[in-house]
């Protein structure tokens, strides 16, 4: 396609205008969008595309939509903050050195190079590394961990640790912004068009629907051990392993794992047999099991109480409700486990080193890591 001189100038001017609001693919989301968008766009802006103008615009707007949805309670704010931190960390690490510096300039975090302050003194070890100079208040966490050199009220931060400074700034800004957004909720909640959408967003799950029952009765008890190793999600594999080792699970674990087994096809009769055999191996005799545990299993299958035919927990329910305490094995390992313990667990399950690294550092949240794990295990 050929352009006249005037048309070419207009084309370049328009391209420049589109780049101006989003000069970088990464941002701190400090300024809310001011343009008008349709309700259809409002509902659909929750995924990212490539690094072009449209993707950056969608990223910007979708962040503020999700901020509205997830500021409605302290629990939701904590969860959203953690997911945003994980996503930001991943995207910051993916930047090239030049793009990383461009981003730091863009958010006014352009730290002074160490060479400018070394004229008055010489430190051989310092000179061998690339450092940035920041204010001491920006490097408190690194200072506590003794990972920085302090002089005259400044912190000398190794270039490899500069992400800690950036992440700390992002966390402080976003945490404050979420609190301020929560204060504005009453005006948003009065809009009958938006509030149902926001409520849906904060409790929605976009992964596979594991609550739909399929293949009922098509697995047998002798297959469960093999299936737990090659096909179970990590949360269920963890529960199965704990049950086999301890011959018992607390209520949260029994509910999460019991409904999962029901969902993959275990009949009521098989479930009663499975749990009874395992508990008898522990400290529960047959009579105690029949009186104390069989009722809840029949209840899950809709044979007791309200006669509700319960479905397995969704990933969102596992992540967001009833966090495990000491002695519990339920919950989501990617959400509730100590990172080092999670690393050891993945290694013990023969996940390759590249997979462990990807799960630990390329974080998009617990749901993303569950999908990664299922990709890495052998079927």
Query: For 258-281, what is each residue's pLDDT tens digit?
Result: 999 999 989 999 999 999 999 999
Please tell me the predicted confidence (pLDDT) of residue 4: 46
Q: Same domain for 183 and 159? A: no
Distance CA 163, CA 169 (A): 10
Mean pLDDT to the nearest integer, 220-244:
92
Q: Same domain for 43 and 118? A: no
Q: Same domain for 135 and 21? A: no
Distance CA 70, CA 359 (A): 24
Mean pLDDT to the nearest integer, 42-61:
69
Distance CA 186, CA 251 (A): 38
Q: Using alpha carbons only, give the angle 363, 365, 366 rounded to the nearest 5 degrees.
A: 115
Please tell me the predicted confidence (pLDDT) of residue 287: 94
Query: For 143-186, what is each residue's pLDDT tens digit?
Result: 655 666 666 656 666 666 677 778 888 888 899 999 998 888 77
Using pLDDT thresholds of 50, 70 and 90, give the confidence band for residue 302: very high
Please tell me the predicted confidence (pLDDT) of residue 78: 87
Using pLDDT thresholds of 50, 70 and 90, give the confidence band for residue 337: confident
Sequence-distant contacts of 370-375: CB under 8 A, at least 24 apart: 370/207, 370/233, 370/234, 370/235, 370/315, 370/332, 370/334, 371/207, 373/233, 373/234, 373/334, 373/346, 374/233
pLDDT at 37 > cutoff 70: yes
**Domain contains 99:** no
Q: Same domain for 174 and 155? A: no
Q: Same domain for 158 and 174? A: no
- Let me know if 168 is exposed, middle or buried by CB neighbors in 10 A (0-12, 13-18, 19+): middle
Mean per-residue pLDDT of the chain: 76
Q: Same domain for 60 and 124? A: no
Please tell me the predicted confidence (pLDDT) of residue 154: 63
Distance CA 161, CA 323 (A): 32
HSE-CB at 165 with a 13 A cutoff on CA atoms is: 26
Mean pLDDT to the nearest integer, 282-291:
93
Q: Same domain for 372 and 278? A: yes
What does the block give as tokens for 16?
């420049």
CA 233 to chain centre: 16
Please tell me the predicted confidence (pLDDT) of residue 158: 65
**Domain contains 314:** yes
Q: Same domain for 225 and 324? A: yes
Please tell me the predicted confidence (pLDDT) of residue 377: 60
Please tell me the predicted confidence (pLDDT) of residue 230: 87
**Domain contains 3:** no
**Domain contains 1:** no
**Domain contains 4:** no
In three-state form (DSSP H/G/I as H, E/B as E, the rest C), the secondary structure along 241-285 is HHHHHHCCCCHHHHHHHHHHHHHCCCCHHHHHHHHHHHHHCCCCC
pLDDT at 34 > cutoff 70: yes
pLDDT at 81 > cutoff 60: yes
**Domain contains 150:** yes
Pick from 265-274, 279-288, 344-353: least confident: 344-353
Residue with tokens 């969608």: 58
Mean pLDDT to the nearest integer, 127-132:
44
Q: Same domain for 301 and 181? A: no
Query: For 179-206, what is each residue's pLDDT tens digit?
Result: 998 888 777 777 777 777 777 676 665 5
**Domain contains 337:** yes
Sign of CA dihedral 243, 226, 375, 70: negative
Q: Same domain for 315 and 245? A: yes
What is the span of the domain harbouring residue 182?
Answer: 17-94+169-202
The answer to whether 356 and 346 have CB atoms below 8 angstroms apart is yes
Please tell me the predicted confidence (pLDDT) of residue 283: 87
Pick from 90-99, 284-293, 300-309: least confident: 90-99
Mean pLDDT to the nearest integer, 29-50:
69
Q: Same domain for 150 and 48? A: no
Q: Same domain for 286 and 335? A: yes
Q: How many domains does the chain contain in total?
A: 3
**Domain contains 121:** yes
What does the block give as tokens for 208?
């596979």
The answer to whether 49 and 58 have CB atoms below 8 angstroms apart is yes
pLDDT at 208 > cutoff 60: no
Using pLDDT thresholds of 50, 70 and 90, give the confidence band for residue 361: low
pLDDT at 74 > cutoff 70: yes
Please tell me the predicted confidence (pLDDT) of residue 360: 64
In three-state form (DSSP H/G/I as H, E/B as E, the rest C), the secondary structure along 119-183 is CCCCCHHHHCCCEEEEEHHHHHHHHHCCCCEEECCEEEEEHHHHHHHHHHHHHHHHHHHHHHHHH
Q: What is the CATH number of the domain that holds 90?
A: 1.20.930.80
């Amino acid at each position: 396609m050929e352009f006249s001189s005037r048309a070419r100038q207009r084309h370049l001017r328009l391209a420049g205008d589109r780049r101006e609001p989003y000069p970088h693919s990464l941002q701190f989301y400090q300024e809310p969008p001011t343009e008008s968008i349709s309700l259809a766009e409002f509902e659909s802006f929750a995924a990212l595309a490539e690094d072009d103008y449209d993707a950056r615009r969608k990223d910007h707007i979708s962040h503020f939509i999700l901020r509205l949805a997830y500021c409605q309670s302290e629990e939701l704010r904590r969860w959203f903050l953690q997911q945003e931190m994980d996503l930001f960390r991943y995207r910051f690490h993916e930047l090239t050195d030049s793009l990383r510096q461009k981003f730091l300039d863009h958010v006014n975090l352009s730290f002074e190079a160490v060479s400018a302050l070394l004229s008055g003194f010489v430190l051989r070890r310092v000179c061998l590394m690339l450092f940035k100079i920041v204010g001491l208040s920006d490097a408190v966490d690194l200072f506590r961990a003794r990972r920085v050199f302090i002089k005259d009220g400044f912190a000398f931060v190794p270039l490899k640790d500069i992400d800690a400074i950036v992440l700390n700034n992002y966390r402080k800004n976003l945490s404050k912004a979420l609190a301020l957004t929560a204060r504005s909720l009453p005006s948003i909640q009065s809009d009958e068009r938006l509030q149902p959408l926001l409520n849906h967003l904060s409790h929605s799950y976009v992964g596979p629907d594991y609550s739909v029952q399929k293949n009922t009765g098509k697995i047998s008890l002798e297959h469960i051990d093999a299936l737990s190793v090659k096909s179970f999600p990590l949360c269920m594999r963890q529960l199965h392993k704990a049950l086999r080792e301890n011959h018992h699970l607390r209520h949260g674990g029994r509910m999460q794992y019991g409904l999962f087994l029901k969902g993959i096809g275990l009949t009521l009769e098989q479930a009663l047999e499975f749990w009874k055999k395992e508990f008898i191996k522990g400290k529960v005799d047959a009579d105690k099991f029949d009186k104390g545990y069989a009722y809840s299993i029949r209840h899950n299958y809709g044979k007791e109480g309200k006669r509700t035919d319960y479905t397995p927990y969704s990933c969102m329910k596992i992540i967001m409700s009833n966090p495990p305490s000491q002695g519990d094995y339920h919950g989501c390992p990617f959400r509730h486990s100590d990172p080092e313990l999670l690393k050891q667990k993945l290694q013990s399950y023969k996940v390759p080193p590249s997979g462990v690294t990807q799960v630990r550092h390329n974080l998009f949240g617990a749901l993303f890591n569950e999908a990664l794990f299922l990709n890495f295990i052998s079927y």
